[in-house]
Amino acid sequence: MARPLPPVGSFGSMFHSFRTTVAALLIGTMVTATATAAEGRHKLVVLAFGDDEFAIVDLAKDSGKIVSFQERILPMCEVGSVSEKDGVITVELKQSTGTSSFKGKADDKGVIKGIFNFRGNPYPAELVKTEADKVAEMKSGQVNRELVAALQANAGKGPKDIREAIEGILRKYEGKPYANGIYGQYLNLADQFELKEDEVKKLLDTWFASAKTYGDSWYTQTRKAAMNAMNGKKTTAAALLEMAQEAEKTIDENADMEGKVEAMTMIASAAKLLDKKDLADSVNEKLKGYETKLDENYKQKVPPFKPVKVAEKAGARPVVMELFTGAQCPPCVAADVAFDALADTYAHSNLILLQYHLHIPGPDPLTNPDALDRQKYYGEEVGGTPSTFFNGMSEAGGGGNMARAEVKYGEYREQIDRMLQKAPAATVNLSATRKGDKIDIEVSAKTAEKPAEKAKPKLRIVLTEEVVKYVGGNKLRFHHHVVRDMPGGAEGTSLEASGEVKKTATVDLNTLRGEIESYLSGYEKTRKFAGTKPSTEMKNLSVVAFVQDDETKEILGAAQIEVKDTP
């Protein structure tokens, strides 16, 4: 799960917090240990965002066992095998959701450095000899917190002070994989620091030399992070152009079309900054033919499973699923893709989908003030992205990469199927008509019983757009059922003591477009959006209305309707 970091001055924050959805590692199981280089007691330390000790394991010549592991890591896993070949030590972990593995080589100090592959994501990790018999407390985010504190302490000061503050943290954590975020922030501010070309080269050499010790996949990932940080900066344009051209030559578009396009886009950007107009124009011309191909390729591959169509359940209380997500959020991929697949699974009378975008972990141009107000409504239950609510109840949280999408789909279906057993506790009647850019909405709602004394039922209205195209940091190209507005306000309208309410609202789409663009322009003054901002054309709209008890947060009843033009 990605979590927010507070913005610092005009610089903001580029960092992701380590996901809290890591599951099932190293439960006390005997294993065969043929890897002599790994004999003895070791701690498995994952180094993505801090020195996070996941487990302590004793490895002997012929066997091994777990000494200690993090209590919050689910005990649903067993060790498959431990082996050594050509100096590479591999430890397989078999889980109910698949197989994870650590693979690495021992350095001259006996530290086994490599990659821990979990659910398709590579994390830098180490097997370190130890005499401890208990894992240490998790430290995820320690470096990010130090960086934020340093930037806050220097807020309002000049680039020289900020540069010295970041360089101090870089020296402290040099060689650690989780320093990636610090290097990225440093390069992101390269123009303000007025870095010289040789300074950029020296920084990259130091950064990449450390990354190489953890294997090719981490080195490749680190180079991508560096290129993203340098993109759009005049002082780093020469280094970026060289790296992007090298990357573009090695990428086979049939295997990685997105990677090919990303490298070409960076070449064009860097060439423009370096006043190499002919090169920039040539690459941009080539890029024109890729956009449609990328969309078609995406639609063929996503979702990576076939949704199951289920029969409509008559008389059931509709389930309103609210997903808080972010286009810059890697672990949101599984949640978003599973969310989209649900639309092809349930009848619209049974399932209503609402997707709120947040600036977590980075700026998202699909965010709007109503989405932020809805986040505040649920408070700490939206501790990060993705967060999911089913009829107001926080359930099935967490996410993952694309490979986890089908797992999340199954988790969401369990919640929906369970809730569809309930009868409506409120009826909602809804109509919406559109003439040009004006949408007129009429809603009446009534609770099944007179509200209890402490109950606080409110009617809320939502305007959603079925599909919005925007390619953010997590590379999802299409976003569905995106909340664009909450007519009447996110706070809602209270029902009368009798449990009834009638509400009318009018949405002027031209005014709404202006409000969205004004909000985004204001936000961009401190934090820039990645890529091309999405269209505000407002096609394929729907109106949703639901009654929610603000005392319990339970959604009692709901309805949705497509908005169609009236002749």
DSSP 55: E
pLDDT by position in tens, the chain (length 567): 665 544 333 333 333 333 333 333 333 333 443 445 678 888 999 998 889 988 888 877 666 777 887 766 645 667 777 888 888 988 887 766 667 789 999 988 889 999 988 766 789 999 999 999 998 988 767 788 888 888 889 888 999 999 999 999 999 999 999 999 899 989 989 999 999 999 999 999 999 999 999 999 899 999 999 998 999 899 999 999 999 999 999 999 888 898 999 999 999 999 999 999 999 999 999 998 898 999 999 999 999 999 999 999 999 999 999 999 999 998 999 999 999 999 999 999 999 999 999 999 889 999 999 999 999 999 999 988 999 999 999 999 989 889 899 999 999 999 999 999 999 999 999 999 999 999 999 999 999 999 999 999 999 999 999 999 999 989 999 999 999 999 999 999 999 999 999 999 999 999 999 999 999 999 988 888 888 899 999 999 999 999 999 999 999 999 999 998 776
Contact in structure between 538 and 516 (CB atoms under 8 Å): no
Predicted pLDDT of residue 209:
95
Q: Per the omega criterion (within 30 degrees of 0), is the bond before 75 cis?
A: no
Q: Where are any strands of DSSP class E within 283-386?
A: 319-325, 351-357
Q: What does the block give as tokens for 357?
A: 């975008």
Residue type, 61: K
Rounded Cα distance between 115 and 107, Å, is 14
Contact in structure between 345 and 412 (CB atoms under 8 Å): no
Q: Where are any strands of DSSP class E within 34-97?
A: 40-46, 52-59, 64-69, 77-85, 88-95
Q: In what order do the strands lie in the sheet with 64-69?
A: 64-69, 52-59, 40-46, 121-129, 112-118, 98-106, 88-95, 77-85
Predicted pLDDT of residue 61:
67
Predicted pLDDT of residue 68:
82
Helix (H) or strand (E) holding 506: strand 500-508
Burial annotation 237-269 (CB, 10 A radius, 16+ → b, else e): bbbbbebbbebbeebeeeeebbbbbbbbbbbbb
